[in-house]
Structure 1
Amino acid sequence: MKIQCWTIGKNNEAYVSPGIEDFTKRINRYYPFQWVIIAPPKNAASMTSEELKKQESKLLLDRLTKEDYLVALDENGRQMDSVTLADFVQKRANENCRQMIFLIGGAFGIHESLIARADYKWSLSALTFPHQLVRLILAEQVYRACTIQRNEKYHHS
């Protein structure tokens, strides 16, 4: 199974980049893993938040295939602890899922058309995090899930 993290926005900021790169290398020992950073639509600054979400959704829906297992990071999604996330990822691998995509939406969230396409809606926390920090948290949690699956020492339960 391949795992991708899709995000709308600009490249990683300097304060998170080394951490994301480190966890990306670590995850690649378990699963082929990559980041896909998608540029926001042109004229994004002149759009309303709803128009922007709709345009971002169109960009993303055009890239998805029917076989992709889409996990939308959404404040209204279900929360999981790290062990549950490890089980969740392992279950997708056991189901011969070809590709699992974790999606971080744009600044205003994810349009309902994309939420409707999602196979799972996941809330990292009830807290609000900066977009860049969500990338780092996601990378760390995917790595942690991999180590839990293999019963390695990284995760202390």
Structure 2
Amino acid sequence: MKFVLYNLATAKEAWADEAARLYSQKISHFNSFEIQTLKPKKSSRDEAAQKKKEESELILSSLSNDDFVVLFDERGKSFNSIEFSKKIEGILSSSKKRAVFIIGGAYGVSDEVRSRAQLVVTLSPMVMNHLLAQTVALEQIYRAFTILRNLPYHNS
């Protein structure tokens, strides 16, 4: 199974690029993994509803019918790292060819994207920017693999 992280980030920061590179490399030791940045159209803050709609359509058009979809959203279900690792284990044992992890846009995602996800997870009840959300998501995916492999990374 391949793991793919979709993000809609438009900002670039050296620290976030380095974190993405580092965690992608670490995760790839356990499982096939890549980050795909979906390129939304540029629009102003006054067009929030339209931007959310267009970004959601972009996400949905990038998914395959057979994907296992995990949406990271502040309104999702909260898991500790052990519980999240068990979710990852379940995804790995599914018959799906690809697991797609989604970090939505600044205005969230449509109900269609939310309903397409088999799992909606909050990284925090606080809202965070895309770069930080991506770093946290990557670290938790990596942590889940180390827990599943009983490696000395996670301290209970």
TM surpasses 0.5? yes
Partner of 2:60: 61
SS of match in other structure, 2:137: helix
Q: Give the % identical residues.
A: 28
| Matched residue type, 1:19 | A
- CA drift of 1:44 comes to 1.8
Deviating beyond 2 angstroms after TM superposition, the runs of 4 or more aligned structure 1 residues are 9-12
Q: Is the 8 A contact 2:70 2:100 kept in 1?
A: yes
* Residue 149, structure 1, aligned to residue 144, structure 2: no
* Residue 106, structure 1, aligned to residue 105, structure 2: yes
Partner of 2:81: 82
TM-score (normalised: structure 2): 0.94
Question: What is the 5 A alignment of 1:35-74?
Answer: 35-41=35-41, 43-45=42-44, 48-74=47-73
2: distance between equivalents of 1:86 and 1:117? 21
Q: Is the 8 A contact 2:68 2:99 kept in 1?
A: yes
Structure 1, unaligned runs of 5 or more = none
Partner of 1:117: 116
- CA drift of 1:97 comes to 2.3
- CA drift of 1:11 comes to 6.0
| Matched residue type, 1:3 | F
TM-score (normalised: structure 1): 0.93
Distance of aligned partners of 1:44 and 1:150 in 2 relative to their CA distance in 1, 3 Å threshold: same
Partner of 1:21: 21
The total of aligned residue pairs comes to 156
Distance of aligned partners of 1:153 and 1:80 in 2 relative to their CA distance in 1, 3 Å threshold: same
| Matched residue type, 2:110 | H
